[in-house]
Amino acid sequence: MDYQKPQRFSLVSQLIEQLESGIEDGTFAIGEKLPGEQDLAERFGVGRSTMREAMQALVAAGVLESKQGAGSFVVSRSRFDASLRRRLSGARIAETLEVRELVETQIATRACRRRTVGDLAALGELLKRRNDETQSLDAYIEADKAFHFAIAESCRNALLRDLYEALLSFIGALFYAELSEDDSDRGTATHIALFDAITRRDEPAARKAVLDLIDHERSFFGKG
């Protein structure tokens, strides 16, 4: 990330935007501790008090978390993500699954239209990794998430992808918490059906596969 000295009209606003951009582009990863205020102030060429104000604004927005004696840590990708997560935390699971159903069917439809040969190659590898993982539940969960995020990427809509990521991060965490090492039904056939539909650009089949997957999740929450 290239650090730029902000212009004069709103130092704090520009610092917030630059820090947020650094989080979104991966310069600062989720869970990572940020450099100290003085270090960041020197990098951006501003005063420490100005940098502190920007960081406090991101703490208030839920993007950063300040831990006494430890520093500031990244907890959300953006103010949009943090705001959505707060809203989701107060929603009923049935409502969240319904919204995810709407979003994910649109993602699958657009993936059918916009996926590339390269996307299919990556999705095929991720699907195989997901379906073959039987030794570690944590590894399986990471592979499953990677497969779904790759589909979201292939729809070529950054806002839709970010909305989906927030939804999956919330409801997915609850769903994954219900899984155990000996769960035999992990929706493998339906994931294969989703991949095949995207490969064939078969939008109705892709939507059906998504609906089947979400119905499978509902079964883990008392039938939603």
Mean per-residue pLDDT, 109-134: 96
pLDDT digits (tens, 9 = 90+) for 163-192: 888 888 777 777 777 777 666 567 899 999
Task: Tell how far CA 179 is from the center of its chain.
Answer: 20
- The amino acid at residue 167 is L
* pLDDT score, position 147: 96
Query: How many other C-beta atoms are found inside a 10 Å radius of the C-beta of residue 38?
Result: 11
Query: What is the largest distance, in Å, between two alpha-carbon atoms of the chain?
Result: 60
Residue 73 CA to residue 66 CA, distance in Å, equals: 6
Task: Answer yes or no: same fold for 11-80 and 91-221.
Answer: no
Domain 11-80 top-level CATH class? mainly alpha
* pLDDT score, position 5: 57
Return mean pLDDT, the chain: 86
Residue 51 CA to residue 41 CA, distance in Å, equals: 6
Cα–Cα distances (Å) from 187 to 108, 180, 210, in that order, read 17, 14, 11
Mean per-residue pLDDT, 92-116: 92
- DSSP-derived secondary structure letter, 91: S
pTM greater than the 0.75 cutoff: no
Domain parsing of the chain, residue ranges: 11-80, 91-221
* pLDDT score, position 189: 93
With b for 16 or more beta-carbon neighbours within 10 A and e for fewer, the 67-89 pattern comes to eeeeebbbbbbbbbbbebbeebe
Domain 91-221 superfamily per CATH? GntR ligand-binding domain-like (1.20.120.530)
Task: Tell how far CA 47 is from the center of its chain.
Answer: 33
